[in-house]
């Protein structure tokens, strides 16, 4: 493997998760026509600080990359990092479920007779290291900051809006469904009671309430007591799960035959959605009960991983944020359910 150009994978406060494994999984699809990636297009649908993108562009000098992110700060940082490859990089500000529109606007970058298609797609889901490290964004419970949590700073809805205006029943549902918080009802009731005296404005105010609302024995296990509530609010503010459900079918359709997709998720709700979509994509279309596979009904995709892969101990020690990652990957085979080339 060639060495990387530029500041390297630890620059910009960002260590890409499972970087070597992502390269191993996606490179065969990107080098099918040329060893240097010429003619191939990779979509980094969650560009962040550009760590994964930098590695691919460094090792494949013919590769073109389309990077998507809703966060203008991320696009600016990634743009600086990827400046040495500027003629091979197209950056688009959009949430990842804007994939179809982004490809349609990409011109010659993504080609296809009926719809634009690409050779590889990478998703690195959840909040980025860069966003967590910038306390003023309000994603972290470790530092007092405005209660914001918007991945797109121009979006209207903030975590403070959710906490201060949603009724108790809705808050309970959000905490239970998006955070898998078993004390959701208790927390929601105390939020409503507290905000009647003074609206929540900062993360520290919410963390203080959570310490009071969650019983002491429960606070001693399962990580920080604010972890699940902050996850739930972030998911609600940014519409993450709905966006993921919408984009995965579009991403699979956007792959050329032989193309590959890698998705890294960091919490069970995300991974469950990915698992279900991938399971359906790799299932036979032959009606149940028939003894043989019907021609043209073979699965359109094959799995490249056995279940969800995790980071190893060495990576977790170097990059603790990789501890919760779950990676799944598919390859699009040549024949679609109708038996013709996709």
Angle, nearest 10°, between helix axes 168-179 and 227-238? 100
50 annotated as belonging to a binding site for a ligand: yes
**C-alpha to C-alpha distance for 315 and 216, rounded to whole angstroms:** 32
Q: What is the DSSP string of 106-172?
A: TGGGSB-SSS-BEEEEEEE-SS-HHHHH-GGGS--SSS--BS---SSTT-S--HHHHHHHS-HHHHH
Q: Are 274 and 305 in contact (CB under 8 A)?
A: no
How far is it, in rounded angstroms, from Cα 167 to Cα 191?
A: 10
Q: Tell me if 156 is assigned to a ligand binding site.
A: no
The reply, when asked if residue 96 is annotated as ligand binding, is yes
The candidate with the shortest Cα–Cα distance to 84, out of 116, 106, 55, 112, is 55
Structure-derived torsion over alpha carbons of residues 147, 151, 152, 158, reported in degrees to the nearest 10: -30
What 8-state DSSP symbol labels residue 70?
A: S
* Ligand-binding site membership of 52 (annotated): yes
Residue 69 marked as a ligand binder: yes
- Dihedral of alpha carbons 333, 339, 341, 342, sign: negative
Per the annotation, where are the binding residues for S-adenosyl-L-methionine? 50-52, 69, 96, 124, 131
Per the annotation, where are the binding residues? 50-52, 69, 96, 124, 131
């Amino acid at each position: 493997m060639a060495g990387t150009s530029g500041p390297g994978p630890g620059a910009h406060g960002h260590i890409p998760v499972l970087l070597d494994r992502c390269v191993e999984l996606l490179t065969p699809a990107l080098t099918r026509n040329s060893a240097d990636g010429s003619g191939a297009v990779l979509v980094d649908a969650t560009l962040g600080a550009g760590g994964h993108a930098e590695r691919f562009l460094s090792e494949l000098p013919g590769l073109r990359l389309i990077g998507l992110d809703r966060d203008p700060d991320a696009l600016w940082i990634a743009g600086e990092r990827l400046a040495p490859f500027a003629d091979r990089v197209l950056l688009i500000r959009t949430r990842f479920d804007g994939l179809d529109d982004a490809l349609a606007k990409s011109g010659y970058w993504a080609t296809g007779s009926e719809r634009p298609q690409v050779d590889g797609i990478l998703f690195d889901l959840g909040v980025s290291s860069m966003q967590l490290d910038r306390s003023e964004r309000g994603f972290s419970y470790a530092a007092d900051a405005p209660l914001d949590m918007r991945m797109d700073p121009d979006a209207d809805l903030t975590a403070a809006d959710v906490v201060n205006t949603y009724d108790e029943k809705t808050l309970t549902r959000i905490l239970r469904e998006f955070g898998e918080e078993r004390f959701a009802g208790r927390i929601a009731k105390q939020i409503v009671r507290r905000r009647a005296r003074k609206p929540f404005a900062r993360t520290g105010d919410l963390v203080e309430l959570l310490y009071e609302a969650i019983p002491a024995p429960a606070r001693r296990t399962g990580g920080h007591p604010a972890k699940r509530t902050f996850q739930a609010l972030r998911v609600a503010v940014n519409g993450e799960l709905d966006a993921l459900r919408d984009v995965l079918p579009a991403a699979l359709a956007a792959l050329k035959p032989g193309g590959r997709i890698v998705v890294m998720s960091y919490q069970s709700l995300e991974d469950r959605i990915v698992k279900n979509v991938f399971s359906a994509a790799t299932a036979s279309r032959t009606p149940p009960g028939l003894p043989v596979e019907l021609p043209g009904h073979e699965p359109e995709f094959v799995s490249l991983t056995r279940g969800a892969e995790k980071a190893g101990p060495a990576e977790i020690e170097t990059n603790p944020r990789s501890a919760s990652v779950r990676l799944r990957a598919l390859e699009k085979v040549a024949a679609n359910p109708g038996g013709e080339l996709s």
